[in-house]
Structure 1
Amino acid sequence: MRRIANYLVLNAYFVGLTTLSQTMTPLVLPLLVQRFAGEGAQGALYGNLRLWGLMTAVLVQPTAGMLSDRYRGRWGRRRPFILLGTLLDLGCIAFIGRIATMDGMHGYAWLMATFIALMVSSNIAHGPQQALIPDLVPQEERGMASGVKALLEVPLPLVLVAFTIGPMVGNGHLHAALLTLSLILVASMGVTLLTPEQRPSESMPFPWERLFRLAAMTTAFTISILGSGALIKTAIRIVPKIEFTHALWGFGLAGILAMGAAITVGVRLSIRAALGAEHSENNAFSWWVVNRLAFLTGATNMAGFALYFFQGRLGFPSEKAALPASRMLLVVGVCVLLTVLPAGRMADRWSSHRLMIFSGLLAASGSVVLLSSTVLWVIYLGAVLVGAATGIFYAANWAQGTRIVQPGEEGRYLGIANLAGAGAGAVGAYIGGPIADYFTQNYPEHPASGYVLLFGLFGSLFLLSILAALRVEVVRR
């Protein structure tokens, strides 16, 4: 029990980080974008917002992790960055409350700038936070530690959002929701700052070459997403309105090819740019990131587009869709809660690799159920399967990742892995958003079709995650 308590303290800050993302991504940002831009352009503008904010995170998180690897402060390597990032977060959250009173594209421009600033501040803390498990936990116990991390990172924040912040947003009390978010962020930070880090004795020079490589990595990944998104936008411009079924099949195929290319080719090229010669020595790491990005693109964007999905699929108006959306996230969170610790124990005793494959199959099955009906309880049943799969995946995938990173470079490697954490939202929103807008504008008699198609694309990415997992070598302990 003492060991579990230590893991709870070490990982507590993930409660705040995920509460932040689950408040902004599926609730606050979609509503503000819809208010500023209208339903006909909301998908593309939401995608732009997510792309540039999350590509900022892709650069900042590994940079902060690398800086913390070399920091020699009295408080340890990681905790000063966690404190600084949180304080900056609070300022950004407060300003988003001010932006909510604005109108039109003026408000959207301020939202874009503030969201990018929030991605800088939150990832100053997030990168170093991720390195605490490889810093302080023996390798043979990292499955359980990763299970505790996943418990605090997914289900508990989703429960908090569903019972507190979600209803506040749904009832029009945005400022109360942002205040609640700030309190949760500060409380979780305070617990993790109790982690007993030791002050490192040796000093290492700052590797400027690696910083330039991280910039090259971010540029390569951004170009891959922009290129895939440009192909979709070009197709939308040149293809006239066609028969509805043909449009579904055509843009469905184009969407999965574009997302698949951004995930596989984009990650492989980006990690090669970041690691240089190290890439060939640790090929398993890049396939692990591809597996993580494919799965999280599906799971993250189902949450990110849930509000628009419920508006179109079930006819909920505006803010009222926040209630079923937050309840679906609650269902996912409870299922993660029930599966993540057993999965962490299984990852220590048996094979995290096999669990990664199984989670992809289970999530794909849940996606089929979720899309099969307009009955709310059937949608929630699909969310049960996706949630259980997500809990298994979080524990197994992170345990696998902490075993294949290079010792002494944990902050840098796990920061590079944010290609998956941040890239998931960018890939799904930037490429998928314009597809949803195309159907909203051209087929108003099928108001839910664009977002139903998007959820189908996200579900297919769970299958892509399985193919990537097959390329990750099994780590023997």
Structure 2
Amino acid sequence: MKSALRWHDHVRINVYWLGLNISAGIITPVLLPYLVALFVSGDQKNTSLATVRVLGLIVAMLVQPIAGMLSDRNSSRWGKRRPFIFWGTILDLVFLGIIAASPGYIGSALDGRLLPMLGVSTAYVVLIIGMVLLQASSNFAQGALQGLLPDLVPSDQRGRSSGVKAVLEVVVPALLVIGIGIGPLVDAGRIGFVTAFIGASLLLTMLITVLFVHEKPLEHRPAESVREPMLRIVALTAIFVLITQGALWLVHSGSAYLATRQISLGLQVALVGLLGMIAMTGSIFAGVYAGARVGIGRDAPKHRSFIWWVINRLLFLAAIGSIQGFALFYLSDVLEIKNAATTTTLLMAVVALFLMTSALVGGYLADRIGRKRLVRTACWIAAAGAFMLLFANSIPLVMISGVILGIGTGAFMATNWALGTDLVPADQRGRYLGISNLAGAGAGIVGAGIGGPIADFFNRLQPGLGYLVIFAIYAGLFLVAALTLRFIPEPGQRT
């Protein structure tokens, strides 16, 4: 596709993002917290939620870049990317069934045998298995999908195409979720219906992609072996996980030590909060920089700006994704909202409405006035929205915070992705954009993996306090993300 694309071309190329984000938009902020709260005790639910997410995202960090790399070499007559999208979706349907079956294990005979031995319910174990497998299959498809936009969209149109992508990622899924009443269904325990809706969304968007997006088959497969790059991906994941878990250990040790000292609650908040901020930012910088160097290999020094782009993206996504992930618990524990799943979906819809305008305008402006300027502005706006959550003691104030976060996130998602596509080698887009999965999977590992235990620690000292501490930390991550942009050149400049 060398000529100017029409609006429906951009929609077809990006439509599978709609299915993926209907799935993520239901599971991450609504379904998963609901099931975790159903399966584990209240004083451990944030940590338990973090555990499910971290285990699944470790798998995502492995699978997505490998799938992207393999799709770069795929010579199927259906094209490089679409076969991965097809088979990944088929497996998604199977693994969604496992998640749907998990509540049936509550109080089962198997639960009676495993609960004393493992210390957790069988239903929780089944949920973990289903989520880990779903992450594997979903990222098998998504790793290939990452390369579809840069494959088919000319460089001067990627800003607007990324804007369409951002709308399909957040706005349309949120409107569909609220329109079909997913929140009340979750509150009513209709898990089978909810997972069926997710599966249908993935299946429909997959069929549109496979049948109506036309790729040219790869004429010549690269001669290079994939063995060394695959080993690098494994090493990259191991490095990032070890660094993040080391940071989590630091937070655990520090908070445990302070709990034994005779110091005020305010000082504990300041010290553990600062420790959490250092742990998150430190693990992001060290994990991405060391891991990406291993994943890219000896070409890494030539692509320093790409590594900084991944760091910038990870900082932002760690903050916004974790705020989204803990929103249901915040609404139920702090604001004491009944039917919190319903309120969470309403909040997501409000965010989405304002994100839509921001994403579309941001996509066009990115092609005209510079992408870095818009990304930096988006980070400042999102930080303001996160700080406002610290004083949001009512639903209207939470909604206003959501509006601000939506505006910032929309501008970021539209503009940052376009900035990244300009930084990768054209013949290795799947590999490099797959490495950017550090910013997707790594965001949850850092933000939720460290934030969940911090929330539980402070909630035990004072109910609801933990959410305020982690929201303040996430606001700080937005600010640090803005500062990292000085290391990323505008497109066309030397790295």
Q: TM-score, normalised by structure 2?
A: 0.93
Aligned residue for 1:74, secondary structure, equals coil
Query: CA separation in 2, counterparts of 1:106 and 1:245?
Result: 39
Structure 2 residue 432 is the aligned partner of structure 1 residue 413? yes
Out of 99, 103, 107, the position equivalent to 1:100 is 103
What's the CA shift for 1:185? 1.2
User: Using a 3 Å threshold, how does the CA distance of structure 1 residues 408 and 2 change in structure 2: closer, same or farther?
Assistant: closer
Matches within 5 A, 1:163-202: 163-164=179-180, 165-193=182-210, 194-202=212-220
Aligned residue for 2:105, secondary structure, equals coil
C-alpha RMSD of matched pairs (Å): 1.4
1:163-215 residue CA offsets vs partner (Å, 9 max, x unmatched): 32223112322211111111111111112121011111112244210010111
Contact 2:354–2:407 (Cα < 8 Å) also in 1: yes
Q: Which residue of 1 aligns with 2:221?
A: 203
1:469 corresponds to which letter in structure 2? Answer: L
Contact 2:273–2:473 (Cα < 8 Å) also in 1: yes
Matches within 5 A, 1:45-444: 45-103=48-106, 104-164=120-180, 165-193=182-210, 194-205=212-223, 206-240=225-259, 242-317=263-338, 320-443=339-462
Q: Which residue of 1 aligns with 2:18?
A: 15
Q: Greater shift after overlay, 90-99 or 182-191?
A: 182-191
2:76 corresponds to which letter in structure 1? Answer: G
Contact 2:335–2:393 (Cα < 8 Å) also in 1: yes
Aligned residue for 1:284, secondary structure, equals helix
Contact 2:153–2:161 (Cα < 8 Å) also in 1: yes
Query: CA separation in 2, counterparts of 1:236 and 1:143?
Result: 44
Aligned-pair identity (%): 36
What's the CA shift for 1:151? 1.0
1:279-303 residue CA offsets vs partner (Å, 9 max, x unmatched): 1001000000011000111111111
Aligned residues: 472
Contact 1:313–1:452 (Cα < 8 Å) also in 2: no
Aligned residue for 1:233, secondary structure, equals helix
What's the CA shift for 1:45? 1.6
Query: CA separation in 2, counterparts of 1:225 and 1:113?
Result: 22
Query: CA separation in 2, counterparts of 1:258 and 1:122?
Result: 29
Query: CA separation in 2, counterparts of 1:243 and 1:293?
Result: 33
Contact 1:309–1:452 (Cα < 8 Å) also in 2: no
Contact 1:371–1:379 (Cα < 8 Å) also in 2: no
1:65 corresponds to which letter in structure 2? Answer: G
Contact 2:424–2:432 (Cα < 8 Å) also in 1: yes
User: Using a 3 Å threshold, how does the CA distance of structure 1 residues 282 and 456 change in structure 2: closer, same or farther?
Assistant: same
Q: Which residue of 2 aligns with 1:3?
A: 6
1:32 corresponds to which letter in structure 2? Answer: L
Contact 1:22–1:158 (Cα < 8 Å) also in 2: yes
What's the CA shift for 1:422? 1.2
1:232-256 residue CA offsets vs partner (Å, 9 max, x unmatched): 1122333326422122112111111
Aligned residue for 2:43, secondary structure, equals coil
What's the CA shift for 1:316? 2.0
2:472 corresponds to which letter in structure 1? Answer: G
1:385 corresponds to which letter in structure 2? Answer: I
Contact 1:217–1:274 (Cα < 8 Å) also in 2: yes
Q: Which residue of 1 aligns with 2:116?
A: none
What's the CA shift for 1:411? 0.5
Contact 2:183–2:343 (Cα < 8 Å) also in 1: no
What's the CA shift for 1:426? 1.2
2:206 corresponds to which letter in structure 1? Answer: M
Query: CA separation in 1, counterparts of 2:393 and 2:471?
Result: 14
Q: Which residue of 2 aligns with 1:28?
A: 31
Q: TM-score, normalised by structure 1?
A: 0.96
Question: Which structure 2 residue ranges, 5 or more long, are not aligned?
Answer: 107-119
Question: Which structure 1 residue ranges, 5 or more long, are not aligned?
Answer: none
Query: CA separation in 2, counterparts of 1:177 and 1:281?
Result: 46
What's the CA shift for 1:372? 1.6
Query: CA separation in 1, counterparts of 2:412 and 2:85?
Result: 26
Query: CA separation in 2, counterparts of 1:402 and 1:240?
Result: 46
Contact 1:312–1:451 (Cα < 8 Å) also in 2: no
Query: CA separation in 2, counterparts of 1:238 and 1:35?
Result: 31
Contact 2:34–2:341 (Cα < 8 Å) also in 1: no
Query: CA separation in 1, counterparts of 2:390 and 2:359?
Result: 25
1:170 corresponds to which letter in structure 2? Answer: D
1:92-136 residue CA offsets vs partner (Å, 9 max, x unmatched): 111111112223522212211221111110001001111011101
Q: Greater shift after overlay, 366-375 or 345-354?
A: 366-375
Aligned residue for 2:259, secondary structure, equals coil
Aligned residue for 2:23, secondary structure, equals helix
1:337 corresponds to which letter in structure 2? Answer: M
What's the CA shift for 1:2? 5.8
1:336-369 residue CA offsets vs partner (Å, 9 max, x unmatched): 1111111111111120111110000111111122
Query: CA separation in 1, counterparts of 2:81 and 2:105?
Result: 37
What's the CA shift for 1:431? 0.4
What's the CA shift for 1:24? 1.3
Aligned residue for 2:79, secondary structure, equals coil
Structure 1: which 4+ aligned runs deviate by more than 4 Å?
A: none
